[in-house]
Amino acid sequence: MMRGTCWVSDDYVMAYDIIIQEYWTSAIDPKDNSKWVMAGVKEEFNKENAFKDNGYTFIVAAHNFAGGGKSIEHVITGLMGAGIQAVFATSFARLQFRNAINYGLPFVTCDDIDKGCETGDELEYNPDTGIIKNITKGTEFQSVPAAPFVAEVGEAGGLMNYVRDKIAKGETIE
């Protein structure tokens, strides 16, 4: 069970704005990437640690979260480094949806979640049932539960751990 406050974004938050151009060539490192995460999304986040210092646990978004076609993993590590434990959205962009699975960060698809939450609301997420509770408003949403493979990768702490373990045990990947 995860619990904490959420930040509600506008529609179409782009990967480009989550990690701005000048940090694309930096190392993939949660601590480092989180310093300037969201810098291009809102002017108020365009300061060192500005997003991170809010201490949000969840992000709630509408369509096409992390879109714009950028495959860099800094987007995911930046969010994780800032303390984000799950992102709930109506839809996600493919490249970052994949990266999130590979890092074990739940990107959870949930219809209309954006209309039922305000920044600062306290939410509770149960990954087993997919139920998201808005404690502040006393409402509840049913999200799409993770596919078995996605849950397995999540439990392993990401695809690197999942594959490393298989290689160490001499198991084939299929």
- Based on the shown chain and the rule CB under 8 A, indicate whether residue 24 belongs to the binding site for other proteins: yes
Structure tokens at 173: 């990947």
91 part of the interface to other proteins, by CB under 8 A: yes
User: With binding defined as CB under 8 A, does residue 152 bind other proteins?
Assistant: no
Question: 107-109 and 86-89 as β-strands: parallel, antiparallel, unpaired?
Answer: parallel
Q: Residue with structure tokens 């969010």? A: 79
Dihedral of CA atoms 100, 106, 108, 114 in degrees, nearest 10, equals: -90
Is there binding between residue 159 and other proteins (CB under 8 A)?
A: yes
Q: How far apart are CA 123 and CA 6, in angstroms?
A: 7
Regarding 42 and contact with other proteins (CB under 8 A), the answer is no
For other proteins, which stretch binds (CB under 8 A), given 45-53, 81-89, 121-129, 157-165? 157-165
Stretch that binds other proteins, among 42-50, 70-78, 120-128, 130-138 (CB under 8 A): 70-78
Nearer to other proteins, 73 or 121 (CB): 73
SS3 139: strand
Q: What six digits make up the tokens of 42?
A: 């809102």
The interface region with other proteins, picked from 23-31, 80-88, 118-126, 136-144 by CB under 8 A, is 23-31
- Residue 157 in contact with other proteins, rule: CB under 8 A: no
The C-alpha atoms of residue 106 and residue 87 are separated, in whole angstroms, by 6
Region of residue 151 (phi > 0: left; psi between -120 and 50: alpha; otherwise: beta): alpha
Q: CB nearer to other proteins: give 7 or 103.
A: 103
Q: How far is the CB of 89 from other proteins (least distance, A)?
A: 12
Q: What's the rounded Cα separation, in Å, for the pair 16 and 168?
A: 36
Structure tokens given for 135: 């404690």
Question: Residue numbers of the site for other proteins (CB under 8 A)?
Answer: 12, 14, 16, 20-21, 24-25, 27-28, 40, 63-64, 67-73, 91, 93-95, 98-99, 102-103, 147, 149, 158-160, 163-164, 167-168, 173-174
